[in-house]
Amino acid sequence: MNSSSALFEEVKTYCMANDRICPMPQLWNKLYQLLKNTKQKSGGGWEPSLPLILQVWYDASAMAKQIRLFEHLQWAEKENQLEEIFSFLKNLKEEEWFHLND
């Protein structure tokens, strides 16, 4: 396992600790805005996909939210931003996370 994938696993593990699913909507949007080189796709939508916030927040399952967050982590890894994003996540207070039983 190279150091990048080891860091990715560490970030993922951190994001799942204490039954965490994803940051709360405003902070998740802030995380998304930190991601470099996001782009609108020609057929519509964004790459990577937008966070599941606003009205979608209420319709999306916890699993869908976590999968989308992991997509953002993969993007951060690809853009060599994983350490920056991990730092952002570690600075969130526990109440700034959405948890499985929330």
Q: Which amino acid is at 12?
A: K
Give pTM, 2 decimals. Answer: 0.94
User: How high is the pLDDT of residue 5?
Assistant: 87
In terms of DSSP H, where are the helices of 17-61? Answer: 25-34, 55-59
Distance CA 38, CA 77 (A): 13
* Residue 70: band (very low, low, confident or very high) from pLDDT cuts 50, 70, 90: very high
20 closest CA partner among 85, 86, 95, 100: 100
Host H or E run for residue 40:
strand 39-40
SS3 28: helix
Tens of pLDDT, residue by residue over 13-24, are: 999 999 999 999
